[in-house]
Amino acid sequence: AQQRRTLIAGNWKMNGSLSANSALLGELSGASIASACEVLVCVPFVYIPQCEVFLAKTQIAFGAQDVSPHQSGAYTGEISPAMLADFSCKYAIVGHSERRAYHHESNELVAQKALQSLRSNIYPIVCVGETLEQREAGKTNEVVVAQLQAVMDVLDEGALARIVVAYEPVWAIGTGKTATPEMAQDVHAVLRKTLAVRSDFAAEKVRILYGGSMKPENAKELLAMPDIDGGLIGGASLKAVDFLSIVAAA
């Protein structure tokens, strides 16, 4: 919306294989993307070099789905932001609800991942969102503001302006249930106001994506809302036709 460039980001999650990815990346890179929006795929770490090859001469960017909060050292199994940058990776999702839930990631850990990513010029896509229980208890705003605030606490104004936020209600992820455009807009507006308390510049700059069962049928109305600046797309990013029709709706 407004002067922010729309971002349509796919999150493949733990899906794909060299051969399946070749087909998908081939279809994506062969498509003529008429829309002015930025297109991104976030893939499992091991497929980042494949993206670097396949997407080199295209306008499609690629990113990781997580990143270490450290730059190097004795952190077995971790991948640092500098390593991602070595492969022309531009973005990393941090704090996805699946990582918060299954890997017990705290708001503070997510904030460190965002901070360290920016130090290597990787843009963090900071995911926030409430569970169904939290929504029903009327705690949605409180939860998402605390999640965003932890990241704001470790970034200066310039760094804050370079993050992307993704509002992903946990009850809408992979369930087929989507927030209505009005429900999503309400939370996006709260998030932007939270950014503005710290910096009007960052609040104007930061793109806030919606995620949670976004698909070709509902993308247009969600993306029409003033504070929804793009989408983070799980399931529908695995099929080129679906992903491209969301891009076309943007």
CB of 57 to ligand PEP, least distance (A): 27
With respect to ligand PEP, which residue has the nearer C-beta, 7 or 203? 7
For ligand PEP, the closer of residues 227 and 242 by Cβ is 242
* CA of residue 14 relative to chain centroid, distance: 15
89 to 148, contacts with ligand PEP by CB under 6 A? none
Is 211 a binder of ligand PEP (CB under 6 A)? yes
Is the separation of the CB atoms in 186 and 145 below 8 Å? no
* Residue selected from 111, 143, 173, 187 as contacting ligand PEP according to rule CB under 6 A: 173
- Which residues, at least 6 apart from 86, have a Cβ–Cβ distance to it below 8 Å? none
By CB under 6 A, is residue 238 in contact with ligand PEP? no
Contact 167, 140 (CB under 8 A): no
Short-list 203, 183, 101, 207, CA closest to 135: 183
Q: Nearest residue to ligand PEP, using CB?
A: 234
233 binds ligand PEP (CB under 6 A): yes
CA-to-CA distance for 15 and 153, rounded, in angstroms?
34
For the chain, the first-to-last Cα distance in angstroms comes to 10
Regarding 11 and contact with ligand PEP (CB under 6 A), the answer is yes
**x/- contact string, 152-171, with ligand PEP (CB under 6 A)?**
----------------x---
- Residues marked active site are found at 96, 168
Nearer to ligand PEP, 159 or 250 (CB): 250
CA–CA dist 221, 47 (Å, integer): 32
8 A C-beta contact, residue 99 and residue 69: no
Interacting residues of 76 by C-beta distance below 8 A, sequence separation 6+:
none
214 binds ligand PEP (CB under 6 A): yes
Interface residues with ligand PEP (CB under 6 A) are 11, 168, 173-174, 211-214, 232-236
